[in-house]
């Protein structure tokens, strides 16, 4: 997995004290429920900033992949709230693990939406297919893909 240079030493020490935790999950859009991504991301920014949660939400129109990183109790709490949100269904937890450093340190929640030619290439480079199978996907490769996709987020 690629590493980000992480700012100051004090911040690194704080991350160790807070026990940095990361989860990755997959879910499918619930077409029976309205979805306003702008409102959703505004909520993410508000709540995640308050809890120092960072991450990325990828939405290709059919499914979501989200990474949440922060203190273990905070990430766990927000994940349990998200998991019962009616805007998505079939939530599959891909990974939940301690982490040494954040992959998305500057994003309270980056939104990567849609699949353009470049993101298609990124998926194909790692998986030789465009669609992620949440039951078999390798989480390290998936995180590499998401990190590459995050360079497209403005
Ligand atoms: C795919 C998806 C991702 C979400 N991600 C977050 C998130 O990162 N942070 C967050 O606070 N809420 C997230 N939510 C919304 C939560 O499910 C929930 O609606 C929200 O936390 C409630 O916040 P409020 O009590 O401030 O209205 C997400 C919902 C969906 C469907």
Residue 12, Cβ density class (10 Å: 0-12 exposed, 13-18 middle, ≥19 buried): middle
Q: Is residue 7 part of a domain?
A: no
| pLDDT greater at residue 78 or residue 8 | 78
Q: Is residue 11 part of a domain?
A: no
Q: Is residue 9 part of a domain?
A: no
- What integer pLDDT is reported at residue 4 of this predicted model? 46
* Residue closest by Cα to atom 3 of ligand 1: 82
**In this structure, how many other beta carbons lie within 10 angstroms of the beta carbon of residue 120?**
12
Sign, Cα dihedral of 83, 86, 92, 94: negative
Q: Is residue 15 part of a domain?
A: no
| CATH of residue 37 | 3.30.70.100
Average pLDDT for 16-40: 93
Which among 35, 103, 39, 36 is positioned nearest to 66, based on CA atoms?
A: 103
The CA distance from 55 to 134, in Å, is 18
Q: Is residue 12 part of a domain?
A: no
pLDDT per residue as tens digits for the range 31-61: 999 999 999 999 999 999 999 999 999 999 9
- What integer pLDDT is reported at residue 154 of this predicted model? 74
Q: Is residue 119 part of a domain?
A: yes
pLDDT per residue as tens digits for the range 124-150: 999 988 788 999 999 999 999 999 999
Domain extent at residue 69: 20-150
Q: Is residue 50 part of a domain?
A: yes
Does 66 score more than 90 pLDDT? yes
* Residue closest by Cα to atom 8 of ligand 1: 44
Q: What is the average pLDDT score of the chain?
A: 90
Count up the domains in the chain and report the number.
1
Question: pLDDT over 70 for what percent of the chain?
Answer: 88
Q: Which residues line ligand 1 (CB under 6 A)?
A: 27, 40, 43-44, 47-48, 57, 64, 66, 68, 78, 81-82, 85, 87-88, 109
Q: Which of 43, 93, 107, 113, when mutated, tests ligand 1's pocket best, judged by the most ligand atoms within 8 Å of its CB? A: 43
pTM for the structure as a whole: 0.90
- What integer pLDDT is reported at residue 114 of this predicted model? 87
Does 29 score more than 70 pLDDT? yes
Q: Is residue 107 part of a domain?
A: yes
Q: Which of 22, 77, 78, when mutated, tests ligand 1's pocket best, judged by the most ligand atoms within 8 Å of its CB? A: 78
């Amino acid at each position: 997995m690629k590493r980000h240079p992480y700012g100051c030493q004090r911040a690194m020490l704080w991350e160790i004290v807070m026990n940095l935790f990361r989860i990755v999950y997959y879910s499918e859009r619930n077409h029976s429920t309205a979805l306003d991504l702008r409102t959703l991301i505004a909520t993410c920014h508000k709540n995640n900033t308050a809890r120092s949660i960072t991450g990325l939400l990828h939405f290709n129109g059919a499914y979501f992949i989200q990474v949440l990183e922060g203190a273990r109790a905070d990430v766990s709490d927000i994940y349990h709230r998200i998991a019962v949100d009616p805007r998505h269904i079939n939530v599959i937890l891909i990974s939940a693990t301690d982490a040494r450093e954040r992959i998305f340190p500057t994003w309270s929640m980056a939104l990567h939406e849609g699949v353009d030619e470049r993101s298609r290439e990124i998926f194909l480079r790692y998986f030789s297919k465009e669609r992620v199978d949440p039951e078999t996907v390798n989480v390290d490769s998936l995180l590499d893909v998401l990190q590459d996709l995050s360079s497209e987020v403005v």
